[in-house]
Structure 1
Amino acid sequence: MSQSPLPAAPRPVSADPAGLVASGRRVLEIEGQALAAVGARIGDDFARACALVLAGTGRVVATGMGKSGHVARKIAATLASTGTPAFFVHPGEAGHGDLGMITDTDVVLAISYSGESDEILMLLPALRRQGNAVIAMTGRPQSSLAREADVHLDVSVPTEACPLHLAPTSSTTATLALGDALAVALLEARGFTADDFARSHPAGSLGRRLLLHIDDVMHGGEALPAVRAGATVAEALVEMSRKRLGMTGIVDADGRLLGIFTDGDLRRALDQGVDVRGTPIDAVMTRNPRTVRAGQMATEAARLMEQHRINGLLVVDDDGRAVGALNIHDLLRARVV
């Protein structure tokens, strides 16, 4: 009866803090040198790659195997979010039907550090027949992929950060950084703006800040706290209690804003012994209050509240009519602040 082999003895583990810190710093130093080397090579080929993409009417299709595939996915995502439509296609799946996702107007960004990935090389004849332009990122300018591409971007690095020189480390960092450089150069060439970025990131905090308007978060219509000039302080308090915003606007017969009455104004009035039932609100309101215009970005309301250390604002239209109100809690709920 055969015996099962004994498990291998565990390898000794070194947890020396100084050694771990030195190792981490060494990796960053090596990868920093790799980035500097790639940056020094950016030139005409890089400009030609950008021109190919800008001249195209389709999308950028990024592809790569293994670690290069992970990098290609990230580059495609960065391109897509910065104004250059792009997506990732796995080269293995492309050979089994996903090639149909690539149209003849697309530019293919093929990534392989060796430049000899069989799965990518197998796609080249089909891409050539279809008329696709190919941009290659490799670490070997004389590789098969580099020679077949319309444009080759050299991402070769002096050494990998892995002490065994086996795990892709410096090379993947350099490739990823060159992809970022490509995306940013295209962004600038297209005149891509922060508003454009926000439109492709509506669920993100930046998208909310750049796309959300005052009108989207204010309380308007029946929810607007407002009383007519001449109303008593008590009537203003009833309106404040009903609308629960800690303030009310005071308006004239045409709805134009005359002043504001807040919880702070109420405390000051009570300290002065004001008769809330008999005193007109005009006597204790704050005149010429801080306001924000309808149609402005919600971030402007946040800026004014922070600048003037207030918790609420009334919203007016171009004619000075009160059309809405909002407080800091509305901006917090909308994740503007």
Structure 2
Amino acid sequence: MQFLIHIVTGILTAYLSFTNFLALEIMQFIEPEPIPESTTVDANNSDMTTLPSNYSYANIIPDVLIKSQAYQQAALIGSTEMVNATTNDPLVAIVNIICIFTTQKYIRTTTGTGFFVSPDGVILTNAHVAQFFLLENTDTFGDTECIVRSGSPASPKYTAELLYISPAWIQEHATLIDDPTPSGTGERDYALLYVNATIDGTPLPATFPALSTNTELLPRSVTGSVVIAAGYPAESLLANGVDTDLFPREATSTITELYTFGSNYADIFSITGSAIGEHGSSGGPILSNNGSVIGMITTKGDDVRDGVGSLRAITLSHINRTITEETGFSFARNVSGNLPYRSKIFTETLVPFLTKILEDGSQENI
């Protein structure tokens, strides 16, 4: 019997060694994206306002996904640097994400906007919206249900799961999840959701209405440019309850200033006030005059300077650069390829860890 155990052990060891070798050989052909350096100063951007950064790549940003062989392999399968847009209409591409968190003491409704960035069903939204999808995995402090709505008025359409959420953002903001009016700078405030089913059980669409995205660095000359902001403003819903009809809106605005988190790149920009500037529009797209998304709404702006309803948006270049730091792959590669498998690996690799961080953060506030 001992002899047979040795034989079986030897076979398993050889098999695992071979599969690991094969995976490493495959990785040599498609290497992760290089992490862009942030030391080069663009003379055109050198006078940007610097916002405080709470992140240090060397010390705080988890490298779990960089070191996870399973995640790295999942990222390579079928991913591409080119993602096709299927619409140029933001009102068609945006969705309303609503989460209801029920405890023994209260019921909290959180609503935000997102938009399709892949015809395969990937939604880009804020981390402060998507973090509640983590709470669906635990009932430690209550029950959480999140759904994706679309249309005019918004109606329940899909369920979704996390494809990616910035671990660095979760670490930094875990203690604020119970805060009814959380605040932040918008740094790394992004997440990717993957639509996995319809609410009514019908088949998913063959393609989703995805907008074109532009992850190139924004030049200083973009200040003063006219842009389109879109979202699901939700002041009426928050005031009157979840049964209130919610409608998608878009408005013309103007970029007033660029900001950097010390990267010397344009990480955030502010836009003038509009009807979009309400709670609930977070996660909505900002489109340039050529129809490409260059930013995503993250926080309210300076109403005194830019008018009532002013907003700040995180740039797509900031998302591309930081998601490359955290995963080893560009934004385009993170929203393409074998998405069900990648979501599964993310769920198995990081979701338990991130959920525990949120649980511990909530515990600190009790």
Task: Give me the TM-score of the superposition, normalised by structure 1.
Answer: 0.24
Q: Determine which structure has the larger strand proportion and give its number.
A: 2
Q: Determine which structure has the larger helix proportion and give its number.
A: 1
Higher relative contact order (CA 8 A, sep 6+): 2
Task: Give me the TM-score of the superposition, normalised by structure 2.
Answer: 0.23
